[in-house]
Amino acid sequence: LCRDTSPQVLLGLMSNPHLEAEDVLAIVKSTSVTAAILQRVASDRRWTGHAEIRTALVRNPKTPTPVAVRLLDTLPLTELRDLAKIGGAREDLRRAAFRVLSKATSRR
């Protein structure tokens, strides 16, 4: 079911208590997933507790920008450096990653 492209199926799957982090990671990395599903994953503490899922959410171009920017504070510095340098990333997300990185390195 994780590979299904139907938003209704995936939204229903998100409420399954037996869903595992690996399955959610596969969904978040998918290119056919909708913004609503990505937003649903980002709002669930069960999934945002996993660093790989947070990183995949930020890197997915379909994740709404406000959601991706909100998650930047939770990413490791190495990931922030990568996001700030990547030319293919959304420009607003790249700038936000650079701001968070600058703030984090100035606190040291």
Is residue 7 over pLDDT 90? no
Q: To 10 degrees, the CA torsion angle through 23, 18, 49, 71?
A: 50
Q: Please, are residues 58 and 83 in contact by the beta-carbon 8 Å criterion? A: yes
Where does 2-68 show beta strands of DSSP type E? Answer: none
Q: 55-103, pLDDT tens digit by residue?
A: 999 999 999 999 999 999 999 998 888 888 876 668 888 889 899 988 8
pLDDT in tens, 41-54: 999 999 999 999 99
Distance CA 53, CA 9 (A): 20
The whole-model pTM stands at: 0.86
